[in-house]
């Protein structure tokens, strides 16, 4: 869902990536728990027995742990049982459920994407359906949390769940009995041919299955179209599993090339080197990044940049380069503790400095979302230490990956203009209603996303309908750009997240810059 909602979907993507940025090395560190000893236990116990109001021992204990970890670094964290469950599915690249993506609209759950070949897909659920009931329990109008709805829909493979849905054009509630199954989480969310010799692959996160997905996508592009150039889009990719990132970088590097290394005071240096994979040989490569590119995706970008294997295009990346190990506690909660840092082959630490306090650390990040200034502004905090690529080219340090070519905005639209129009709730409400009311008509005219991308032209009247009063805010200068962007949103609602990119790439400045470099 690239750039489909800057402050919602991207934020979710990044937060997931930060949670998942730990090493899955099947090693549980030894950890000796204190048996209710020490000052913290003594204080909490005293408060529980003597404080003027009733207090909960576990809540105070959890709060103490969270406060302790927050004093160490931005990403060491305490995980509840729910946190552990939520972070496991993306790492494994699959979950057990019915196979839908949804969003909450007002107080109603609307299906926005049905995963192909999953239980919901096979039974006939459609994007746009409103879920009214689950196992006879009403969920519409109940103001339920997303997590509670997920708990109702997910479940062990083979178990049954009955959903009641409302669909435009049908009277009453339609009931579907679904048998839950294993649902793959697709991390390569777009792969297609941009021009006669250039392929495009978008990766939204790194799970344990990402490398296989990526190889299959690249193999298909090479075999079917004989591509010579490849654009790898890592924008909005919050990271994930280290090993998958290493395997993707390996595709493009010669045997023995250093990909990344990790090191900490209590962890000796450990290097990850390429073992040689000819799949990426001979391809010209460009990697797209932005301020939401983090963790594992920064490892890929840094490795290809330092080995002079790809041109990095976009904005400076997030700078999440801390290695976490997970420690399970006896009550099935966990600690995720930073034990080392990631370093690119040239020796740059990926982690952005946080020695001036966490408030500034996160403030700098949020300011970067609105940063539309010059190259000099973007590199003002670079490290004074010089780093060099394999071929001797100078690269910048001090956290994150600084692109070779800076692109401050994906589209030729001011940030405030974007947020007041396409970032508004009014637009999303109008978009959803429009697609639902015209879904069958549009699908008849444009049976698939490729035909839609080539032939669909939005009218001014349709733009006015979708944008409402904000239509008059965009002005003539940006109207043609908005027409393509709005068309891409419609494509996403109709077909898939990949359809968004197939429609919007002609006005995507990062993609167009990459195509220019290939020429």
| Tokens of residue 459, six digits | 């009218």
Neighbour count for residue 516 (Cβ, 10 Å): 10
Which region holds residue 282: left if phi is over 0, alpha if psi is between -120 and 50, else beta? left
Respond yes or no: is residue 202 known to be catalytic.
no
| Active-site entry in 306, 364, 410, 508 | 306
Q: Where are the beta strands (DSSP E) in 185-332?
A: 188-195, 198-203, 229-233, 258-264, 267-273, 284-289, 311-314, 322-328
What's the first-to-final CA gap in the chain, in angstroms? 28
Q: Please state, in angstroms and rounded to a whole number, the distance separating the CA atoms of residues 519 and 290.
A: 23
Q: Residues 6 or more apart from 470 whose CB is under 8 A from it?
A: 420, 421, 424, 426, 427
Sheet holding 188-195, edge to edge: 188-195, 198-203, 229-233, 284-289, 311-314, 405-406
Catalytic residue at 470? no
3-state SS, residue 176: strand
What stretches of 399-508 show up as alpha helix (H) in DSSP? 415-421, 425-445, 449-455, 460-467, 471-474, 479-494, 497-504
The pairing of beta strand 405-406 with beta strand 311-314: parallel
Give the integer Cα–Cα distance in Å for 6 and 232: 20
* Residue of 13, 244, 295, 496 marked active site: 295
The whole-angstrom separation of Cα 152 and Cα 55 is 31
Cβ neighbours, 10 Å, residue 327: 16
Q: How far apart are CA 389 and CA 264, in angstroms?
A: 23
Q: Which two tokens stand for residue 436?
A: 């639902």
Q: For residue 191, indicate whether it is catalytic.
A: no
From residue 136, how far is each of 97, 119, 120, 127, 320 by CA, in Å? 18, 19, 17, 21, 44
**DSSP type of residue 519:** -
Q: By three-state DSSP, how is residue 414 classified?
A: coil
Q: Which is the catalytic residue, given 2, 130, 209, 320?
A: 320
Which residues are known to be catalytic?
295, 306, 320
């Amino acid at each position: 869902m690239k750039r489909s909602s800057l402050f919602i979907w991207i934020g979710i993507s990044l937060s997931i990536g930060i949670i998942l940025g730990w090493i899955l090395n099947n090693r549980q560190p030894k950890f000796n728990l204190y048996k209710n000893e020490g000052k913290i236990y003594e204080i909490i116990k005293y408060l529980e027995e003597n404080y003027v109001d009733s207090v909960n021992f576990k809540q105070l204990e959890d709060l103490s742990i969270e406060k302790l970890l927050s004093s160490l670094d931005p990403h060491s964290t305490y995980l509840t049982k729910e946190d552990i469950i939520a972070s496991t599915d993306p790492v494994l690249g699959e979950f057990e459920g019915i196979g839908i993506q949804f969003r909450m609209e007002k107080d109603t759950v609307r299906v926005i994407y049905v995963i192909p070949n999953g239980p919901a897909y096979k039974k006939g659920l459609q994007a746009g359906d409103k879920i009214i009931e689950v196992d006879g329990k009403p969920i519409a109008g109940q103001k339920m949390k997303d997590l509670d709805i997920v708990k109702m829909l997910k479940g062990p493979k083979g178990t049954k769940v009955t959903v009641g849905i409302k669909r435009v054009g049908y009277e009453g509630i339609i009931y579907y009995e679904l048998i839950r199954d294993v649902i793959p989480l697709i991390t390569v969310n777009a792969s297609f041919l941009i021009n006669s010799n250039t392929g495009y692959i978008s990766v939204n996160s790194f799970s344990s299955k990402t490398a296989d997905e990526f190889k299959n996508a690249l193999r298909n592009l090479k075999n079917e179209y004989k591509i010579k150039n490849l654009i790898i889009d890592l924008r909005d990719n919050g990271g994930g599993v280290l090993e998958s990132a290493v395997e993707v970088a390996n595709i493009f590097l010669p045997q023995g090339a250093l990909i990344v290394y990790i090191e900490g005071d209590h962890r000796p240096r450990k290097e990850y080197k390429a073992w040689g994979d000819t799949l990426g040989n001979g391809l010209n490569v460009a990697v797209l990044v932005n301020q939401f590119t983090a963790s594992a995706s920064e490892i890929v970008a840094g490795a290809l940049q330092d080995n002079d294997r790809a041109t990095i295009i976009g904005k400076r990346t997030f700078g999440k380069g801390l290695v976490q190990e997970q420690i399970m506690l006896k009550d099935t909660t966990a600690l995720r503790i930073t034990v080392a840092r990631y370093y690119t082959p040239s020796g740059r630490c990926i982690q952005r400095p946080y020695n001036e306090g966490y408030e500034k650390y996160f403030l700098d990040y949020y300011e970067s979302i609105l940063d539309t200034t010059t190259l000099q502004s973007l590199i003002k905090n670079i490290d004074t230490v010089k780093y060099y690529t394999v071929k001797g080219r100078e690269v910048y340090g001090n956290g994150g990956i600084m692109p070779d070519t800076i692109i401050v905005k994906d589209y030729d639209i001011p940030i405030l203009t974007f947020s007041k129009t396409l970032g508004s709730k009014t637009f999303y409400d109008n978009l959803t209603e429009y697609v639902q009311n015209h879904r069958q008509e549009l699908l008849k005219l444009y049976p698939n996303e490729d035909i839609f991308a080539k032939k669909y032209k939005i009218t001014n009247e349709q733009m006015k309908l979708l944008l409402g009063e904000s239509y008059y805010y965009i002005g003539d200068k940006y109207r043609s750009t908005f027409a393509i962007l709005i068309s891409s949103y419609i494509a996403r609602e109709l077909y898939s997240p990949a359809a968004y990119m197939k429609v919007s790439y002609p006005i995507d400045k990062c993609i167009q810059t990459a195509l220019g470099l290939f020429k």
